Structure 1
Amino acid sequence: MKQTATLLLGLLVLTSSCVTKKVYQDLESKYADLKKENRRLQDENDDCVKTKADLDMAYNALKDELNTTKLERDRNMADYTSASNNLKALQSSYDALEKNSNDALQANMAKNRDLLDELKAKERALANEQSRLNKLKADLQASSERLTELENLMAAKDASMRKLKETLSSALNSFEGKGLTVHQKNGKVYVSMENKLLFSSGSWAVGSEGRRAVVEVGKVLAANPDISVLIEGHTDDDAYNGSGPIADNWDLSTKRATVIVNILAENKSINPQNLTAAGRSEYAPISSNNTADGKAKNRRIEIILTPKLDEISKMLNQM
């Protein structure tokens, strides 16, 4: 734009003697307008200061050139026309750029709004997730505390059963070697009595020695009211050949278990609700029935002592 003003100034100098006053005034008016435009552009673009200085130098050089030759007037007119066209092209480009910039700005603003909405949604989701994690952490802490309590309770139950086993072993020590054993397995205590200690063959009447053993067991159970007692009757696989109300080994094993329950129930300190009788017949052997010794081991009464797990079950249901 400044170059164009300079060219016009030169043209004014060259043509001042050969143009009409109206043309001169028009050119002079255009020159004044261009100077105003130049000042406005200078105010708007500080980055062009250096360029302006360079153009000023070019302007002075052109002025000297114009003073020394009028032959370049046509070329300068052509330059003016070209510069004018360039100005129009630049203006068009500027308009297009401004429109594109506005479109891009609107698009970016819309995108930023979408990103902001997405960020807020993620913040809400994060807050919800944090709340859920806090609840899970609290639940985990509570479960951990209940688990520790449960482990302590189970350890106490296990210690109690070990003590019960030791107490039974001590109380039944006099029956050692007579077909009576006491052992602990899977948190339970098993008192196993072979039939040679309790019953005659085919009978469910308990002998005096066997009764004494059962009574000793009852004394220990009376001191441990929180124990569930399952009495199981077992036979070998020989078919029952007796007479009377017994039909087979099922009946015999059940009858023998019931008799032991009745002897235990004679101790009034034992809660009958803790006692259960069951007949297993020949179907839970602990030895082979192919030998006489194996058959003798299978003919037995097992008193299975189990700690009551109501409290443990309740805690498990709460976890």
Structure 2
Amino acid sequence: MRRFPWRLWLYAIVITGAAGAGGYFTWQYRSQGIKAKDDLALCSKNLTSLQTTAGDSGKQLKACTDQLGASTLKATELEKQNGELAKNFDATKDELAALRAQKAEADKRMAAIEDIRKQFAKMIDTGQLRVSARRGQLVISLPSEVLFPTGSSELSKQGEYAVVEVGAVLKKFPDRRYLVVGHTDNQDFAKPKDGATVCVPTDNWQLSTARALTVTRVLVTAGMDAKALIPAGVGANDPIASNASSEGRQKNRRIEIALLPAVNELPALPAGLADETGGAAAAPAPAPTPAPKK
């Protein structure tokens, strides 16, 4: 009887087990390799996605940075504009205040002019004088026929009364100054004879100046401040009517008292101009002496 081949069977079993184990481990290795490949592919995909996201985020960051820079620049510009607007607003407020002050002065001047006109209502109604606006100034006009004889610079009694009445009104406005201007027509008058001892005018210009001085002296006698009066004569050089007719010449023969602007109504002079008075008030001018009676 032959013996059972245990060794062969044992070898067969061992080899079969080893083959099975090898197959199992081979399968495990392959499975892990496939999984590793899949994981690697997934990681690569995720990396690509993250890189893309990072690139997009970088672009967004750059865009945000650029926008921030633009916003900062715009904010700086707006702040600068705001500063300019604030300056302009302050300047506008100052200009408005100046305009209001000018309007207040203009209203004050108009009130004074209206007051003067009302004060002369009686003399206007009786034809002793006219009150009008000329070259932007209030002008009180007295006809020479009321004041002076023909060719003379000596006031008639009626003329003296009229000038004193005018002075009584104007001295109520001590803060105003007046230009007293003599006017004539263009007609010649009799010249003084040689050797005449009486000082008489030789032409219309001299006559108009002498008449203005006479009226000024009477105004001072009536109580007006000499510093508020400026006498002048223009002869026939400033007519208000044609000298071709007797009516026109009569209108041109006149004394005008023009209301001058107050100092605060005048425009400011350049700062570089020196003050001749050194900031102090000018010394009072001597009052004109009364004209000698003839």
TM interval, shorter chain, is 0.5 to 0.7
What is the root-mean-square deviation in Å for CA atoms of aligned residues?
3.7
* TM-fit CA distance, 1:164: 1.0
Which of the pair has the greater relative contact order for Cα pairs under 8 Å at 6+ separation? Answer: 2
| Distance in 2 of aligned mates of 1:314 and 1:298 | 32
Q: CA deviation at 1:32?
A: 4.4
| Worse-matched range after superposition: 32-41 or 134-143 | 32-41
Q: How many residues align?
A: 241
2:119 to 163, 167, 175: 167
Question: Residue 230 of structure 1 contacts residue 277 of structure 1 at CA under 8 Å; is this kept in 2?
Answer: yes
Aligned pairs for 1:69-84 within 5 A: none
Q: Which residue in 2 is equivalent to 1:190?
A: 139
Please name the residue that 2:90 is paired with: 138
Task: Report matched runs for 1:156-305 at 5 Å.
Answer: 156-170=108-122, 172=123, 176-178=126-128, 180-184=129-133, 188-243=137-192, 244=199, 246-267=201-222, 269-305=223-259
| Alpha carbons of structure 1 residues 232 and 30: separation in structure 2 relative to 1, 3 Å | farther
Distance 1:33 1:242, change over 3 A: farther
Q: From the two aligned structures, give the one with the greater helix fraction.
A: 1
Scaled by the length of structure 1, what TM-score is found? 0.63
Contact 1:181-1:191 at 8 Å conserved across structures:
yes
TM-score, normalised by the number of residues in structure 2: 0.67
Change (3 A) 1:30 1:230: farther
* 1:273 positional shift: 1.6
> Residues 120, 148 of structure 1: CA spacing in aligned structure 2 closer, same or farther, 3 A cutoff?
same
> How many percent of aligned residue pairs carry the same amino acid?
26
Q: Structure 1: any 5+ residue segments left out of the alignment?
A: 1-20, 47-90
Q: Distance in 1 between matches of 2:237 and 2:30?
A: 124
Structure 1 segments (4+ residues) deviating >6 Å: 27-31, 43-46, 104-108, 314-317
For 1:145 and 1:163, how far apart are their aligned partners in 2?
27
Letter in 2 for 1:155: D
How far 1:278 moved relative to its partner?
A: 1.8
Unaligned runs of 5+ in 2: 1-21, 193-198, 271-294
Which residue number in structure 1 is paired with residue 35 of structure 2? 35
1:128 to 69, 76, 80: 80
Partners of 1:297 and 1:282 in 2: CA distance: 11
Distance change >3 Å, CA 166–CA 184, structure 1 → 2: farther
Query: What is the rounded CA distance, in whole Å, between the counterparts of 1:232 and 1:122 in structure 2?
Result: 66
Q: In 1, distance between residues paired with 2:31 and 2:202?
A: 137
